[in-house]
Structure 1
Amino acid sequence: MRIQGVLFAWVAVFMLAVAIVYGVWSKEPVGTTALFLSFALTGMIGFYLVFTSSRVDTGAQDNKQADVADDAGEVGFFSPHSWAPLVLALGGLAAFCGPVFGWWLLYFTAPLLVVGLWLWIYEYYRGENQNQ
């Protein structure tokens, strides 16, 4: 995990240099702001990974003598199939079309957003995925 954090930190340093050079050279505020925000995002991710790596066990990727098989085993829990993200995405798509076609569209998309969010939050409390 530490290696990924260091890589993100180097990308953040690169993005900062590019943002400064681009801002001075082009004097264009939108692209400069986007590059500074990219620097901030990669910096936050790098800081989080380096900060967290000292609090978790060393993974196989941090050991230079490790084999590929050392990282085998259970990776984690992955959610089974679900229709809730699709419902939520369709509701979000329709809601973001509201300012384009008219704010009245939000009255019809708000229930779809609420239903999609409700289904996703309570996915493990009903049906075949219910915890026992």
Structure 2
Amino acid sequence: MKVQGKMFIWLAVFILVMAIVYGVWSKEPAGTTALFLGFGLSVMIGYYLWFTARRVDTGAQDNKEADVADDAGEVGFFSPHSWQPLSLGIGGALAFLGVVFGWWLLWFSAPIIMIGLWGWVFEYYRGENQNQ
């Protein structure tokens, strides 16, 4: 993770320089703002990866002598079957369509998003997936 953190920090420095150069030369506020927001995003991701790398064990990607097989193994737990992302996707699509066609569409999309979010958060607290 240290390598990825350094990459994002260097990317943030590059984006900052390009944002300043672009802002001075073009005097165009939308693109300059987008570049500064990209700089902020890169700093946040880089700081998170750097901060997390200090707390976890060194991974194979941080070892220059490591092979690809050294990083094999369990990555994490992923839900095998869940309908909640479908609900969130439909609700999100309706919400973005509300921006296009009219804000009234948010009245229909907000409950779908809330149901999907509630179901995804509490998916393993009820039913056959409940942990004892």
Is the pair's TM-score, using the shorter chain for normalization, greater than 0.5?
yes
Q: Partners in 1 of 2:63 and 2:20 — Cα distance?
A: 36
Does 101-110 or 1-10 show the bigger shift?
101-110
1:50-89 alignment, distance < 5 Å: 50-89=50-89
Give the residue type in structure 2 aligned to 1:81. Answer: H
Q: Partners in 1 of 2:88 and 2:106 — Cα distance?
A: 14
1:36 correspondence with 2:33 = no
Question: How many correspondences in the alignment?
Answer: 132
Identity %: 73
Where does the alignment leave 5 or more consecutive residues of structure 2 unmatched? none
Does 83-92 or 7-16 show the bigger shift?
83-92
1:1-132 alignment, distance < 5 Å: 1-132=1-132
Does 96-105 or 58-67 show the bigger shift?
96-105
TM-score (norm 2): 0.88
Query: Deviation string for 1:30-70 (max 9, x for gaps)?
Result: 00000001011101111221222122111111111112221
Q: Partners in 2 of 1:119 and 1:102 — Cα distance?
A: 27
Q: Partners in 2 of 1:43 and 1:103 — Cα distance?
A: 33
Runs of 4+ more than 6 Å apart: none
- Superposed displacement of residue 97, structure 1: 2.5
Q: Partners in 2 of 1:33 and 1:54 — Cα distance?
A: 32
- Superposed displacement of residue 116, structure 1: 1.4
